[in-house]
């Protein structure tokens, strides 16, 4: 059995750029992609004035928190691109869990990092041609409120002495190692690591779908593209490819 290793990530090939302020690091990374940026590049901003979240929402980006983006250049034979959401989730979870040290953080589909019912980190993936841009926000010193869920910061969790630069370094090292494993061994070991760190099978989840409908069911598994498989009350299984998931 192949298991993904997140204990000894390599830092080979990682470049981290810093800007004190920008609109959105995802938008800047789109520009860098167009200019031919290579995989391994990360961009961190001290604060964002037009940070974006999933489903068209704004992402409040105060200084003291982590706002960063990277890119993956898709290659022939790579696993399906949406499964990179799981790669990113495992990388961020591994990094943050080490800072918190409690083992108490959980991934919520597809790649929110939660402490109980409170959100600690969120990610925004966007595609530009053959490149996938992965934007990561982590509440380090502040937990800006969200309209529909509780939020929490690393500071609230007692993770003393960590700052955005150190957190990003850890995330980038984990991500680099996991990306390599994704390419070499495929999605199964990544999914296994994701499941070990996520809400357990059987957890009751509510899903706000992009078309405005709401669904509710028990978490069953992930499909081969990383979609969420929900078991509904009538016994049928549904694949959710996009939406907001809530722990009920
Ligand atoms: C979400 O949970 O809604 C996703 C939040 C993603 C926020 C990050 S911060 C860095 C990058 N730049 C952005 O504008 N958004 C992402």
Beta carbon of 243 within 6 Å of any ligand 1 atom? no
Question: Ligand 1: which of 68, 126, 135, 175 to mutate, judged by most atoms within 8 Å of the beta carbon?
Answer: 135
Query: What is the secondary structure of 30-91 as a DSSP string?
Result: HHHHHTTPPTTEEEEEEEESS-B-GGG-B--B-BTBEEEEEEEE--TTPPPGGGHHHHHHHH
Tell me how far apart the alpha carbons of residues 199 and 164 are, in angstroms, rounded to a whole number: 26
Q: What phi and psi, each to the nearest 5 degrees, are found at residue 160?
A: -75, 150
pLDDT band at 223 (very low <50, low <70, confident <90, very high): very high
The pLDDT of residue 187: 97
Q: Which atom of ligand 1 is nearest to the CA of 61?
A: 9
The pLDDT of residue 2: 47
Residue 3 has pLDDT above 60, yes or no: no
The pLDDT of residue 10: 47
What value does the mean pLDDT take over residues 117-130? 97
Q: Which atom of ligand 1 is nearest to the CA of 45?
A: 10
Q: Which has the minimum average pLDDT: 4-8, 12-16, 32-36?
A: 4-8
The pLDDT of residue 8: 42
What value does the mean pLDDT take over residues 90-112? 94
The pLDDT of residue 102: 73
Q: Which atom of ligand 1 is nearest to the CA of 57?
A: 3
Task: Please state the pTM of the whole predicted model.
Answer: 0.94
The pLDDT of residue 103: 77
First-to-last alpha carbon distance for the chain, in angstroms, is 34
Taking only the tens place, the pLDDT of each residue in 156-192 is 999 988 899 999 999 999 999 999 999 999 999 999 9
Q: Which atom of ligand 1 is nearest to the CA of 68?
A: 10
Distance between Cα 16 and ligand 1 center (Å): 17
Helix 164-185 / helix 188-197 crossing angle, nearest 10 deg: 140
Distance between Cα 161 and ligand 1 center (Å): 23
Q: Which residue has the tokens 């993956």?
A: 72
Dmax (CA) of the chain: 52
Taking only the tens place, the pLDDT of each residue in 131-152 is 999 999 999 999 999 988 999 9
Beta carbon of 67 within 6 Å of any ligand 1 atom? yes
Beta carbon of 122 within 6 Å of any ligand 1 atom? yes
């Amino acid at each position: 059995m192949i298991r993904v290793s997140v204990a000894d990530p390599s830092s080979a090939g990682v470049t981290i750029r810093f800007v004190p302020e920008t609109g959105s690091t995802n938008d800047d990374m789109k520009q860098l992609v167009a200019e031919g940026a290579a995989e391994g590049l990360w961009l961190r901003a001290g604060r964002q004035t037009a940070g974006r979240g999933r489903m068209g929402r704004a992402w409040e980006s105060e200084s003291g928190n982590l706002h960063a983006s990277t890119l993956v250049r898709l290659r022939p034979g790579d696993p399906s691109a949406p499964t990179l959401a799981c790669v990113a989730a495992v990388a961020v979870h591994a990094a943050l869990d080490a800072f918190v040290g409690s083992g108490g953080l959980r991934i919520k589909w597809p790649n929110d990092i939660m402490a109980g019912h409170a959100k600690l980190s969120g990610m925004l993936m966007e595609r530009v041609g053959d490149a996938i841009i992965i934007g990561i926000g982590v509440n380090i010193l502040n937990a800006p409120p969200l309209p529909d869920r509780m939020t929490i910061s690393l500071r609230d969790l007692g993770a003393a002495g960590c700052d955005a630069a150190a957190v990003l370094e850890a995330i980038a090292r984990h991500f680099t190692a996991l990306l390599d494993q994704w390419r070499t061994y495929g999605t199964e070991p990544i999914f296994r690591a994701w499941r070990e760190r996520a809400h357990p099978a059987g957890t009751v989840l509510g899903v706000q779908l992009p078309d405005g409908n709401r669904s509710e069911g028990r978490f069953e598994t992930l499909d081969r593209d990383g979609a969420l498989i929900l078991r509904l009350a009538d016994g049928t299984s549904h694949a959710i490819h996009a939406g907001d998931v809530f722990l009920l």
